[in-house]
Amino acid sequence: MKRTVNKELKNLNKAMEIWLASNENLLFMYGRPFQSNTIFIDIIRKVIKNDGKVLYLWGNEGVSSEIVKGLSLEKGKKISYSKDGLSNSNLVFMSFKYTYNIIKNYDLVIIDDISTYFKINSFGLESLYNKCRIHSKKIIVYGIESCSFVNRIIDISNFKITNRFLEPRTITTRIDLNKDIPYSLYDYILWFKERKSKIAFFVPYYEDIENLYNYYVKEIKIEGVKVIKAENYKNDLNIKDRAIFIITNNMEDVCKISQLDGIVTLFADNDKIDYKKILYMCGKLTTNNDNISEVILVCKEITEEIEKASKLTREFNKKLWEEHYLSL
């Protein structure tokens, strides 16, 4: 089916405009990990044009360059990033880290839990929403999963999207991953090596980084692969003549590393690996828009979190299929 993006955007803006003029306090926008936040440009511009103030809460520390570029505000209108909540700008960006500093009132608050990754769950979002209600009569929550406090939902998970959402692949094993690897994972490693791929190996704890590094470097000794610990990766990412394996326990590393070809999550059944991390790993590689990227979860058993992440990725693709945007 041919996309009519301009018409979809026009309808979406109209829906937000109707909500803005209504007596409803909350609008929930349902999307996919790393989906664009530029959908809010028109409603932000409208509020600011009427001399209103907007608070934009998200996972990054800084302003959204995409939103700032698209706004083209009138002379005298100001945009800023604030940690202390004291800014008088028309549009204030603030990281979720500093929401305890919200003290001013706003005409619109946008809670963006989509365009960047941040460790906040549905209970945290509800708590944040309740805090924001004190400071604004209009709140938009942009999230990957509907929460219990939500009544009105606009589903934009397929907006401007025609490619399938990457679904994770699971390898179950009884092998101690600190000392050995299953054959199926070893086959993937050889495939990554042959393709000179850039792969992130994600582990739950910082201590796991050293164990895994020593095992891959001193035990496996695969030629043609550069193994890097996360804190040292920045100077080696431009290597072209071999595969690069970056070992990290930090989701920010996974999200920030450009042109990743795959993500291998070891000990994926650990409590620290929740469905949201898995979804954002899949979302990170979905932006590659190819058919060879892989998110591989290695674990002893499939947990509820793994099942939940797999279910949500299938639902994204099911909707694309049903709306005839996804083909074989």
What token pair was written down for 281?
Answer: 């790993």
Higher pLDDT, 314 or 326: 314
What token pair was written down for 319?
Answer: 């909707």
- Which candidate, 169, 197, 198, 196, places its Cα nearest to that of 185? 169
5-155 and 169-322, same CATH topology: yes
CB atoms within 10 A of CB 238: 7
The CA-to-CA distance between both ends of the chain, in Å, stands at 13
Instruction: Please report, rounded to a whole number, the percentage of residues in the chain having pLDDT higher than 90.
Output: 72
Return the ∠ at Cα 93 (arms to 91 and 98), rounded to 5°.
140
Work out the average pLDDT over 33-50. 95
| Domain-wise residue ranges, the chain | 5-155, 169-322
pLDDT confidence of 4, banded at 50, 70, 90? Answer: low
List, for residues 277-293, the tens digit of each pLDDT value.
Answer: 999 999 999 987 666 79
Work out the average pLDDT over 162-173. 92
- Using a 10 angstrom Cβ sphere, with 0-12 exposed, 13-18 middle and 19 or more buried, the burial of residue 309 is buried
What residues contact residue 19 under an 8 Å CB cut-off, 6+ apart? Answer: 27, 152
User: Is pLDDT of 208 > 60?
Assistant: yes
In words, the CATH class of domain 5-155 is alpha beta
Work out the average pLDDT over 303-320. 93
List, for residues 231-270, the tens digit of each pLDDT value.
Answer: 766 666 677 788 999 999 999 989 988 889 999 999 999 9
Selecting from 3.40.1280.30, 3.30.70.890, 3.40.50.300, 2.60.120.560, what CATH number does the domain 169-322 have? 3.40.50.300
Q: Which residue is associated with the tokens 């970056």? A: 246
- Residue 27's SS3 state is strand
Bridge partners of 29, per DSSP, are 142, 154
